[in-house]
Structure 1
């Protein structure tokens, strides 16, 4: 494709499972505190803590764990047992060592595209954890570059697609999050491809960017090559 030279890929819930691990841990958290509050209230309070703490802790397991501890202290009015705090810390450690499970169609799609396009992995979150997941996934060698960023904005994509390609106008970003992967890439002038995942974190919800000619959606990564052929 003469006009498209660079493809960026999100990592979590685009290349491998991630969000379901957070939701399973959240269920464990609400069970731990069931004597102090109902599940809906705990979930709401935890989400509020995550939203409040993003600017301080950023994205990822460590910030999530700190937000769970903060919520536990709040809902128990400072009386959270040490055993509960210990269980929360253990849940966080478990998440940080959870095996990486690539999603279907990922390996073959990356293999097929490598060499025809510059492939860039663009992910946000904790540096150590994201580096671990890239290494354990076995997918790192497919990429010409890996970028772990604190946030994904239009300026992020302008900068990275200029650094690793021919600018955002000749680039495509592929990911499961409309808010982080697709809309800011479109705003930067790139193509944005939405690959829905089974679960979307509440803070990543966004409306479909209807009417934007560089917006695309596929059911899974196995459909990406066909999309690229249609765009030639």
Structure 2
């Protein structure tokens, strides 16, 4: 069984958030904090909100507002509206598949059972799933609030699969690779230069249960 992450594995996602963050930090133009310091403040707020509120554009917008309030103390209504305008890019963004994804999935679906596992706000993730044009390749698509060891154990049980024969394929060490390995799965790491900083983590280069690939179509040489 091959299980695929969605955001930043099947299609681009975080690059849009990064563009909004770039515009936000330029707009802030803080008198004493440089860009690196401002980003650290925002990262801390996002990290806390991810634990409490989950993921997605609504939580991201909340984080931008909290960052503004922390740095400006008493932001004006016009400043709050400016943040809303910046974040509109997330709402208007269309699903853009990663290179080679559609053709590779077409071949892989003829060889293996494919599942899709994505985390985030259900309505937002479902909108992307409906728009991607890929769902016919998958036996099932699961939207979960978090990807942790328990999630992977639950998924293996849900589909009556031996964890040792399952492969999780994704770009996030934190959500796709490490918890899958901890649950006894194999994993395929396909890095994305735009992976969210909070999804970064260290992978053991000696772990034979993790296959490192450069691009999505490289899967066809192994599965």
Q: Please show how residues 1-40 of structure 1 align to structure 2 within 5 Å.
A: 6-35=1-30, 37-40=33-36
Tell whether 2:217 aligns with 1:222: yes
- Which of 84, 89, 92 does residue 87 from structure 2 map onto? 92
Following TM superposition, by how much is the alpha carbon of 1:176 offset from its aligned partner in structure 2, in angstroms? Answer: 0.3
- Cα distance in 2 for partners of 1:84, 1:136 equals 33
- Which of 116, 120, 123 does residue 125 from structure 1 map onto? 120
The count of corresponding residues between Structure 1 and Structure 2 is 222
Q: Answer yes or no: is the 8 Å Cα contact 2:149–2:179 preserved in 1.
A: yes
SS of match in other structure, 1:13: coil
Q: CA RMSD in A?
A: 1.4
Tell whether 2:65 aligns with 1:72: no
Unaligned runs of 5+ in 2: none
TM-score normalised by structure 1 residue count: 0.91
SS of match in other structure, 1:133: helix
- Which of 22, 25, 46 does residue 42 from structure 2 map onto? 46
Q: Answer yes or no: is the 8 Å Cα contact 1:118–1:164 preserved in 2.
A: no
Unaligned runs of 5+ in 1: 1-5
Q: Please show how residues 47-196 of structure 1 align to structure 2 within 5 Å.
A: 47-78=43-74, 80-196=75-191
- Cα distance in 1 for partners of 2:52, 2:101 equals 33
SS of match in other structure, 2:141: strand
- Cα distance in 2 for partners of 1:96, 1:83 equals 20
- Cα distance in 2 for partners of 1:154, 1:209 equals 17
Following TM superposition, by how much is the alpha carbon of 1:217 offset from its aligned partner in structure 2, in angstroms? Answer: 0.7
Q: Answer yes or no: is the 8 Å Cα contact 1:157–1:184 preserved in 2.
A: yes
